[in-house]
Structure 1
Amino acid sequence: MVKIDNIVLPDFPLLLAPMEDVSDPPFRVVCRENGADLMYTEFISSEGLVKDTEKCRRKLAIFDEERPVGVQIFGGDEDKLSMAARIVDMTQPDLLDINFGCPIKGIVAKGAGSGVLKDIDLMVRLTKACVNATNLPVTVKTRLGWDEDTKNIEEVAERLQDVGIKALAIHGRTRTQMYKGVADWELIAKVKNNPRIHIPIFGNGDIDSPQKALEYKHRYGVDGIMIGRAAIGYPWIFREVKHYIQTGELLPAPTLQERIDVCKRQLEKSVQWRGEGPGIFSMRKHYFSYLKGLPDFKGFRSRLVTPVESAAVVDVLDEIGRVYAGFEFEHKPIQLVNYHENCAL
């Protein structure tokens, strides 16, 4: 088993990465039900929490069936970050995570996310402020460094551990790489194999198949892996990885009915969380990802995003099940895209 303070996870846990405009509570529920071991919220602005904005308050929502779950916050000001940590503490998630990895320009320009990678002393102060402000276990997600000349993750890991974090997730790219190139897991392995490091180290980046997950488990020796882009429209990646690690066999690709059922489940939770109208609207971006591969799907795609009542959406999904009955999806590595390009940040 793997422990993050008092949180007990199975051997080699699979974590759902925090993704803006993707990893909301309804999506986290279907990932949990398909094998994910630990969830993270979309990242939340510390300034927004302190100002009590509606958008930030909404992101604090947690369904009981998705636990354990961590709330992820970001910011570049010690006072505001510590105040945000205290606010998060009151909502009672299972842990608090700090984002030092988001590479998008708007976040970096505020001196937050991976922008903090330019100033390791500041990163340490921000982390210590959070640890001192909350009773929750504090974890961090970050990158290897700002650029090729500042890959200082080994120093960062030691210093953040020294100020009290309970786990570290490392994306194997620098900020300047964004999502380009190949993730460097060799440096992640160096952090894990450092005899000074005793907290769990989770690797993140480019996991697009069960075969790669098992290969990286053996090659790099991390305590678990964090999966992000591969889970978009495909929460089954978690159960497939677990099954392959346990048996060495690939599960069949999810059937059309399984895909429809998960669409319905996520729609149900979206409506429960947001209300009928907003819940339906929020789901519209997901249908094509779930049903990608169906031939001549354009007509159904437009019909799925037209209804204003969830019952009507369910009727269209059921019709898709009848029209494409017997269709078999191919099983192949998941195409990883830069999800920031399609998200409202």
Structure 2
Amino acid sequence: MGGVIGLMAAVQQVGWLVAGLFFWFIACVMILSHVHDRRTKTTYTGQIAALRVRGDAAKGKAVYYPIVSYTNDVGVVVEAETRHGSSGLSGKLPGRVVRVMPDVHEPRVATIRDGSGIVLTLVLWGMGALPIAIGVLQYPVTPYTIFIFVIFGAWVAWRIARMIRPRHEWQSREEFRKRKAAELLAKRAQCPRINRDEALAQLKTMDDLALRFLPLSVLVAFVFMGVAGWVAYDTGTILHNRAYAEGRVVALDRPSGSDAYYPVIEYRTHDDEWVRFTDKAGSNAPSVSVGQGVDVIYDARNPDRAMIEAGVSAVWIVVLASGLVGLAVLVAAIRTVLGVAGHRRRGYVSI
């Protein structure tokens, strides 16, 4: 039974590590791509001429892709489709002056340099650090973990090898970029084009929709921040009056309707009193097995309030993650209020 539990814990740990490494991989690719573009492409000053829309704006499910115009080195005005879009219209209304970086092989495809890639890279680094921290701190590294990680790495290498075609079938980098640019132009041509007046009308619709969901956003923010505050207070109280003891796992509690296992610990206090408690940190794959010895931290004033010492780091990760999510949602809600108020104050004219 202990081997099965150890294997399940290792699978869950590898899952956390792989998730974090995936985010870090995407961030590294974005950094390398940014460095390559800065070295190989020329930046021009241009403006947003129009927008392409994919999806239903009335339902808040539209994605907007700017169409930019710029003057190249020989004085010719070029209109180019952009690679990236988003669901917001902030900073993308036609008429806005932007820095344009056209493709080397296809001037009708360009990228807007606005610093959003750097922000997204930092977000991805943070998103990757959290699951990696959970994987490293919540479970000890065991031979099971190493074995599963090696097997998964071998599978990824095999898949990559299958994707690589024979040498004679390879395309040159120029051919590849031209083909991808042609595909992007074909996709953008399928999306309707809107001008500034149409974009402003859709912005009004989006503002009304955002205000409708604002109370729910604020509620979600305070729920997450409240959970973070309560867990931090509860854990901090235990740590403030902490005492240490050696305990033993006597059972694994699995509440009805839950997939998580919660260790039931029994330990002896310094006053020679036996106490049994259920740890608050549960997991789908148990991190401990019945009969295993564990170090316990308990409240000396109230021995019934206790936790496994190894789980303290996981608790603070939960506090940090919940607090950051709540703070992010709250900041987004505040920005929504300020943005809509600014749009309405200016009458949707000088945006």
User: Taking structure 1 as the reference length, what is the TM-score of the superposition?
Assistant: 0.18
Q: Of Structure 1 and Structure 2, which has the larger fraction of its residues in strand?
A: 2
Q: Of Structure 1 and Structure 2, which has the larger fraction of its residues in helix?
A: 2
> Which structure carries more relative contact order (alpha carbon 8 Å, separation 6+)?
2
User: Taking structure 2 as the reference length, what is the TM-score of the superposition?
Assistant: 0.17
